[in-house]
Chains A and B, each alone.
Chain A
Amino acid sequence: MTDPADPGTPVLRLHQVTKTFGEFTALHGIDLEIREGEFLTIVGPSGSGKSTLIRLMVGMDELTAGEIWLRDQRIDQTPANERPTCMVFQSLALFPHMTVGRNIEFPLKIRGVSPDERRQRALELLQLLRLPDDYYDKQIGQCSGGEKQRVALARALAFDPEILFFDEPLSALDYRLRKTLEKELKDLHARTGKTFVYITHSLEEAMVMSDRIAIMRAGRFEQIAVADEIYARPVSRFVAEFMGEVNLFEVSLSASGEPASELLDINVSGGEYPWKNRDESGLLMVRPEFVRFLSASDTADFVVQGSLQDEYALGSRIQYEVVSSTGRRVTVEKLREDRYLGAPGDDVILGWDLEHTHLIAEA
């Protein structure tokens, strides 16, 4: 795993990459630097352009404008079969007419590696992916979903790419298997030290595995940062909402940066605000897990009053929906052991502190 704070050496650089399909522009001048050995996840909703982007990076499609550089070599005109990159497809694209062993050996066969060496390498990779040796002769059709996933990974690793791309390979699997494979992928990344670029629409997958996350929206990057940074300090309403449940309050800011809102009772002592925005409007953001139920004697930097509307059990957590007198919904999440002991219909006071509050510049 790379140090997220260290910019590192870029192994792949995209400069003003644009892709259009007729009148439709799928990617608008994308700039991106992928660091050596990092696990970068590109997340975005359907149609955001992430699959188009990955296809350009591996050379499956031609870009309309821009440049792609692999270290000091420009590769955007290099055909896919001459690039030192490899992709694990969403459908896995395992060859159904070949055994597990022949699938894994395929990239080695293309390179003219001898049958004995190919077999040896395939067996090593089966071991690395925790598959028994006798799977070498197994037909692909006889493998389970998780096993197929591992075979696809083994085949991609046999290619020994400089960068390994993943196009939502876990999306078709059930929840349990997906969770197991997310951890295995992260572990595999650590063990191989290779650069992984993963695309998904699942935020959870991105959070579990990545060194950095890039959020895409309508053919542009909204934010690229480490997971904690994106979660705690999103740059836009879209990113804040995409990264999970969030409470956003429209505020106006004074010359000292002090927020003002009709809904919130703000009692920040000292009047020191961490944001630089002044004389503007913005969105104050707090994640539901940082919102507390207050008693009449409790204090908090930001306070809002309302009525408890509903509660939802989310496994180990409980989510509460509180509606203010102006009809504004506020979401609160508590661990099951810290659950609120009242009932829907209760008048409640909610509060949170400045340290868990983030200001998004857009109003």
Chain B
Amino acid sequence: MGASRTTRIVLVLYGLLAIFLLYLPLVSITFASISRARYLTFPIKRYSTDWYARAIESSTVSDIVTTSLKVAVIVTLASMVIGFFGALAFARYQWRYRGLFQKLILLPIFFPQTVLGLALLMWFNSIGVIPSWKTAVIAHLVWIAPIATLIIAIRAYSFDPALEEAARDMGASTGTILREISIPLLMPGVISAGLFAFLLSWGNFPLSLFTTGADSTLPEWLYAKMVSGYSPLVPTVGVLSILASAGIIILALVLAKLLRRRAGTA
């Protein structure tokens, strides 16, 4: 039975309202970034892209972006590797206390990040490690690697173990099975996990705040500028950061689609 005309109108309006509320902050900061005025007021009297030019030329912004990028890329790659082997260990092999170990590994996902950040800072101090972007990588990994493992494990649980057995039966070594069967089949999961890892690391504030020491990541810098010395550079860098995230998402989606098509499951 189809919905009545009134119901359809209400549903469409509800959907539009939801999208409006979701994207309103993004629209606001986009307007703020292209307003010549120091503080955002409506209607905008004069538009300018000067702040974008300044953001691109700023060595501070460049350093901050480089630090964030270093952390996010290393966290992404490490999460993909850890997640891949972790997922295989959970989904492929039967071992004692597997269930308990799985729960312990996944537990950090549910810890409040500020508490986790503080705990890691105290731990780094106690072992004499000076916090920097490198310690932030470890902090991010503690929280993000379990998420990546979970994402890849979903895919690993769904693929038939007989595929690896068949390859072994036909003479393939463990390395060949990994290269020819396991990695290609788990790759869509690995890509998704990598995407999540990058975005979670790139936008992480609570863990970075406690563990970067003298270094600073993009979310930390944005926060610092907000509380002491706001300028339109803040929304501008924010918009650039969102665009970079969107670019990464599109790239990953295209890659995943290509892989699915190659796997014949598209």
- Complex interface: stretch among A104-112, A210-218, A294-302: A104-112
Across the interface, B262 reaches (CB within 8 A) one of A91, A97, A107, namely: A97
Interface string of A85-108 (1 = CB under 8 A from B): 111011101011100000000110
Interface string of B136-149 (1 = CB under 8 A from A): 00000000000000
- Name the prevailing secondary structure of the A interface residues: mixed
CB distance from B259 to the nearest CB of A (A): 8
Assuming A81-B172, A110-B171, is B263 touching A93 (CB within 8 A)?
A: no
Q: With A and B bound together, what is the CA distance between A358 and B41 in angstroms?
A: 102
Interface string of A42-77 (1 = CB under 8 A from B): 000000000000000011100000000000000000
A81 contacts B169, CB within 8 Å?
yes
B58 at the interface (CB under 8 A from A): no
A142 at the interface (CB under 8 A from B): yes
Give chain A residues whose Cβ lies under 8 Å from the Cβ of B184. Answer: 97
Q: With A and B bound together, what is the CA distance between A60 and B162 in angstroms?
A: 10
Q: How large is the interface on A (under 10, 10 to 19, 20 to 34, 35 or more residues)?
A: 20 to 34
CB distance from A229 to the nearest CB of B (A): 32
A139 at the interface (CB under 8 A from B): yes
A80 contacts B169, CB within 8 Å?
yes
A110 contacts B163, CB within 8 Å?
no
B171 contacts A107, CB within 8 Å?
yes
Give chain B residues whose Cβ lies under 8 Å from the Cβ of A97. Answer: 184-185, 262-264
Give chain B residues whose Cβ lies under 8 Å from the Cβ of A283. Answer: none
Give chain B residues whose Cβ lies under 8 Å from the Cβ of A90. Answer: 162
Identity of the chain B residue whose Cβ is nearest the Cβ of A142 in the assembled complex: B264
Q: Could you count the A-B residue pairs with CB atoms below 8 Å apart for me: how many are there? A: 67
A320 at the interface (CB under 8 A from B): no
B165 contacts A60, CB within 8 Å?
yes
B264 contacts A110, CB within 8 Å?
no
Q: How large is the interface on B (under 10, 10 to 19, 20 to 34, 35 or more residues)?
A: 20 to 34
Q: With A and B bound together, what is the CA distance between A90 and B162 in angstroms?
A: 9
Assuming A89-B165, A95-B163, A140-B264, is B185 touching A107 (CB within 8 A)?
A: no
Q: With A and B bound together, what is the CA distance between A159 and B263 in angstroms?
A: 23
Identity of the chain B residue whose Cβ is nearest the Cβ of A141 in the assembled complex: B264
Q: With A and B bound together, what is the CA distance between A141 and B265 in angstroms?
A: 7
Assuming A96-B185, A141-B265, is B172 touching A89 (CB within 8 A)?
A: no
Q: With A and B bound together, what is the CA distance between A97 and B167 in angstroms?
A: 13
B181 contacts A95, CB within 8 Å?
yes
CB distance from A54 to the nearest CB of B (A): 11
A106 contacts B167, CB within 8 Å?
yes
Q: With A and B bound together, what is the CA distance between A89 and B262 in angstroms?
A: 23
Across the interface, B162 reaches (CB within 8 A) one of A81, A91, A111, A140, namely: A91
Give chain A residues whose Cβ lies under 8 Å from the Cβ of B172. Answer: 81, 106, 110
Give chain B residues whose Cβ lies under 8 Å from the Cβ of A85. Answer: 169
Q: With A and B bound together, what is the CA distance between A274 and B143 in angstroms?
A: 79
Interface string of A17-60 (1 = CB under 8 A from B): 00000000000000000000000000000000000000000111
Give chain B residues whose Cβ lies under 8 Å from the Cβ of A140. Answer: 264
Give chain A residues whose Cβ lies under 8 Å from the Cβ of B169. Answer: 58-60, 80-81, 85-87
Identity of the chain A residue whose Cβ is nearest the Cβ of B177 in the assembled complex: A81
Identity of the chain B residue whose Cβ is nearest the Cβ of A82 in the assembled complex: B171
Give chain B residues whose Cβ lies under 8 Å from the Cβ of A95. Answer: 163, 166-167, 180-181, 185
Give chain B residues whose Cβ lies under 8 Å from the Cβ of A58. Answer: 169
Assuming A93-B162, A93-B163, is B264 touching A81 (CB within 8 A)?
A: no
A86 contacts B170, CB within 8 Å?
yes
Q: With A and B bound together, what is the CA distance between A220 and B73 in angstroms?
A: 58
Give chain A residues whose Cβ lies under 8 Å from the Cβ of B166. Answer: 87, 89, 93, 95
Q: With A and B bound together, what is the CA distance between A336 and B162 in angstroms?
A: 45
B165 contacts A93, CB within 8 Å?
yes
Interface string of A275-319 (1 = CB under 8 A from B): 000000000000000000000000000000000000000000000
**Residue of A80, A93, A142 ringed by the most chain B CB atoms within 10 A:** A93
Give chain A residues whose Cβ lies under 8 Å from the Cβ of B160. Answer: 91, 93
Identity of the chain B residue whose Cβ is nearest the Cβ of A106 in the assembled complex: B170
Give chain B residues whose Cβ lies under 8 Å from the Cβ of A142. Answer: 264
Identity of the chain B residue whose Cβ is nearest the Cβ of A87 in the assembled complex: B169
A110 contacts B176, CB within 8 Å?
yes
A159 contacts B170, CB within 8 Å?
yes
Identity of the chain A residue whose Cβ is nearest the Cβ of B163 in the assembled complex: A93
Assuming A91-B162, A93-B166, A96-B185, is B264 touching A111 (CB within 8 A)?
A: no
Q: With A and B bound together, what is the CA distance between A180 and B56 in angstroms?
A: 70
Identity of the chain A residue whose Cβ is nearest the Cβ of B259 in the assembled complex: A97
B98 at the interface (CB under 8 A from A): no
Identity of the chain A residue whose Cβ is nearest the Cβ of B159 in the assembled complex: A96
A107 contacts B162, CB within 8 Å?
no
What residues make up the interface of B, taking CB atoms closer than 8 Å to A? 160, 162-163, 165-173, 176, 180-181, 184-185, 262-265
Q: List 19 A-B contacts (CB under 8 A).
A: A80-B165, A80-B168, A81-B168, A81-B170, A81-B171, A86-B170, A87-B166, A90-B162, A95-B167, A95-B185, A96-B264, A96-B265, A106-B180, A107-B171, A110-B170, A139-B264, A140-B264, A141-B265, A142-B264
Beyond contacts A97-B262, A107-B171: 12 other A-B pairs, Cβ-Cβ < 8 A, are: A59-B169, A60-B165, A79-B168, A80-B168, A81-B172, A82-B171, A97-B264, A106-B167, A110-B176, A139-B264, A141-B264, A159-B171
Closest 9 CB pairs of A and B: A139-B264, A93-B166, A141-B264, A107-B170, A97-B263, A93-B162, A110-B171, A89-B162, A97-B184
